[in-house]
């Protein structure tokens, strides 16, 4: 007879190049404590897997394959954009989760995601106690937007920041080489609905040895068309070219997104897509400069081949810490990264209560943005540089990175009743 219970792990929202490193940290650490964790089940396609009783048996995966998750991008168990509504609005969903947890002897819940996921975790923790089936709930931070509060940084961001900084620098060199007779302005659109952290990373492309003229459009700064065009014109006249990094969340003074399409996603957020062509056409029509534009889109968040080692290490550490916190009896919390110093960059694991994390967004501090609203300050540079530091290349074969595909074998259903999403 054993007191060991099962754990449930799920991945939520947009994926990253390092979310699987957190999964690796959870599963590898749990396997070290068989008297506590009988098994770790994963939700197929995130929380949907729990609602539909579509659980994955991670014990069927070898230690080697679980270890390979640390170097594999995307969500190995599948993710989803599915927001659970409030307890009062849809109690049935939460009761269903507890029903599945109870049927499969699940006493530990690890949810790897952003602010909405933290809110879900907090509600499940509260409801499980009311239903007399207490579940220890730990939220593992993940978001490329870097907009969760309290933690110094969110896993996924450092690698996206590295990709954007490198891509901006390399594309700028390309434009410079052709500027005399061809393209003079390059526009790259990056993610960041409300917070401009990713766009800010584009500013790292320029430094004392790379005098690249870069204009950044942040969500935190109202878009001033006249000032923006004047800045572009000034840079092109001075340098013959200019690069623009525009956040998908850049807004007009009336609050409307430059890229807004008029539709909404599953979380109720405005569906964005197209800030780069809007800006590029504006430049062409007003200034007459030839341009090229690109959207980093999935490329920025899936680029495991150029991931930040700092990011990988922190993603794994937070997965491990989540298990350690369960062992310590913690509940309804999120492990965090606490910065101890900038140079050398040192950090440690901290923790935050979910009530202080759920549905709270961390924006770029104004002191990180230059007075004209188009660049990053030295304070921002000091914050960002350690986060993109180091390389953690996957192994390569025949010129291509080697990633793992898990078996993802299903756990036999016990409840067996259908649940309509």
Q: Of 280, 302, 324, which residue sits at a domain end?
A: 302
Q: Are residues 109 and 63 in the same domain?
A: yes
Query: How many domains in the chain?
Result: 2
Confidence of residue 1 (pLDDT cuts 50, 70, 90): very low
Q: Are residues 191 and 67 in the same domain?
A: no
Q: What percentage of the chain carries pLDDT values higher than 70?
A: 96
Q: Is residue 207 part of a domain?
A: yes
Core vs surface per residue 218-233: b (16+ CB within 10 A) or e: bbbbebbeeebbebbb
- For 128-184, how does the pLDDT look when each residue is reduced to its tens digit (9 = 90+)? 988 999 999 999 999 999 999 999 999 999 999 999 999 999 999 999 999 999 999
Name the burial class of residue 22, with classes exposed (0-12), middle (13-18) and buried (19+) by CB atoms within 10 angstroms of its CB: buried
Q: Are residues 233 and 324 in the same domain?
A: no
User: CA-CA distance, 119 to 332, in Å (whole number)?
Assistant: 10
For the packed helices 91-103 and 115-130, what is the interaxial angle rounded to 10 degrees?
70
Q: Are residues 170 and 296 in the same domain?
A: yes
Q: Are residues 264 and 181 in the same domain?
A: yes
Q: Are residues 292 and 318 in the same domain?
A: no
Q: Is residue 148 part of a domain?
A: no
* Cβ neighbours for 351, distance < 8 A, ≥ 6 positions apart: 325, 330, 333, 334, 335, 336
Residue 288: which CATH number? 3.40.50.460
Q: Is residue 383 part of a domain?
A: no
- For 371-390, how does the pLDDT look when each residue is reduced to its tens digit (9 = 90+)? 999 999 999 999 999 999 99
Q: Is residue 414 part of a domain?
A: no
- For 11-50, how does the pLDDT look when each residue is reduced to its tens digit (9 = 90+)? 999 999 999 999 999 999 999 999 999 999 999 999 999 9
| 331 assigned to active site | no
pTM: 0.95
Q: Are residues 131 and 46 in the same domain?
A: yes
Q: Is residue 409 part of a domain?
A: no
Give the domain range for residue 188.
157-302
- Which of 116, 119, 145, 313 is catalytic? The answer is 145
- For 222-271, how does the pLDDT look when each residue is reduced to its tens digit (9 = 90+)? 999 999 999 999 999 999 999 999 999 999 999 999 987 544 555 566 55
Q: Are residues 396 and 349 in the same domain?
A: yes
Per the document, the length of the chain is 421
Confidence of residue 2 (pLDDT cuts 50, 70, 90): low
Confidence of residue 62 (pLDDT cuts 50, 70, 90): very high
Q: Is residue 211 part of a domain?
A: yes
The pLDDT, as a whole number, for residue 84 is 84
Q: Are residues 51 and 135 in the same domain?
A: yes
Q: Is residue 376 part of a domain?
A: no
Average of per-residue pLDDT values in the chain: 95
Q: Is residue 335 part of a domain?
A: yes
């Amino acid at each position: 007879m054993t007191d060991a219970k099962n754990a449930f792990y799920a991945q939520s929202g947009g994926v990253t190049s390092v979310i699987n490193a957190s999964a690796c940290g959870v599963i590898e650490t749990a396997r070290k404590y068989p008297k506590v964790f009988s098994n770790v089940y994963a939700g197929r396609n995130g929380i949907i897997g729990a609602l539909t009783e579509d659980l994955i048996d991670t014990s069927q995966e070898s230690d080697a394959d679980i270890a390979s998750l640390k170097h594999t991008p995307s969500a190995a168990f599948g993710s989803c954009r599915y927001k659970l509504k409030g307890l009062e609005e849809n109690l049935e969903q939460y009761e269903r989760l507890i029903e599945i947890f109870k049927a499969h002897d699940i006493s530990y819940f690890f949810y790897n995601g952003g602010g909405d996921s933290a809110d879900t975790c907090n509600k499940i923790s509260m409801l499980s106690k009311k239903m007399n089936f207490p579940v220890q709930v730990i939220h593992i931070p993940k978001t490329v937007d870097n907009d969760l509060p309290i933690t110094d940084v969110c896993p996924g961001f450092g690698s996206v920041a590295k990709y954007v900084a490198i891509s901006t620098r390399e594309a700028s060199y390309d434009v410079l080489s052709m500027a005399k007779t061809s393209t003079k302005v390059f526009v790259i659109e990056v993610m960041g609905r409300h917070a401009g952290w990713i766009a800010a990373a584009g500013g790292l492309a320029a430094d004392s040895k790379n005098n690249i003229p870069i204009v950044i459009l942040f969500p935190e700064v109202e878009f001033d068309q006249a000032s923006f065009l004047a800045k572009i014109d000034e840079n092109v006249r001075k340098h013959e070219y200019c690069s623009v990094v525009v956040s998908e969340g850049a807004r007009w003074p009336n609050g409307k997104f430059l890229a807004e399409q008029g539709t909404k996603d599953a979380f109720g957020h405005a569906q964005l897509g197209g800030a780069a062509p809007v800006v590029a056409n504006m430049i062409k029509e007003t200034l007459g400069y030839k341009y090229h534009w690109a959207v980093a889109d999935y490329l920025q968040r899936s680029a495991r081949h150029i991931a930040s080692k700092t990011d990988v290490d922190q993603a794994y550490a937070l997965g491990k810490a989540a298990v350690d916190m369960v062992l310590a009896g913690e509940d309804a919390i999120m492990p965090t990264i606490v910065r101890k110093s900038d140079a050398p960059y040192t950090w440690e694991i901290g923790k935050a209560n979910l009530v202080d994390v759920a549905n709270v967004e961390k924006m770029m501090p104004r002191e990180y943005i230059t007075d004209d609203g188009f660049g990053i300050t030295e304070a921002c540079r000091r914050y960002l540089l350690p986060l993109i530091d180091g390389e953690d290349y996957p192994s390569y074969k025949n010129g291509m990175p080697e990633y793992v595909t898990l078996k993802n074998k299903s756990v036999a259903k016990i409840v067996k009743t259908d649940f309509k999403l």
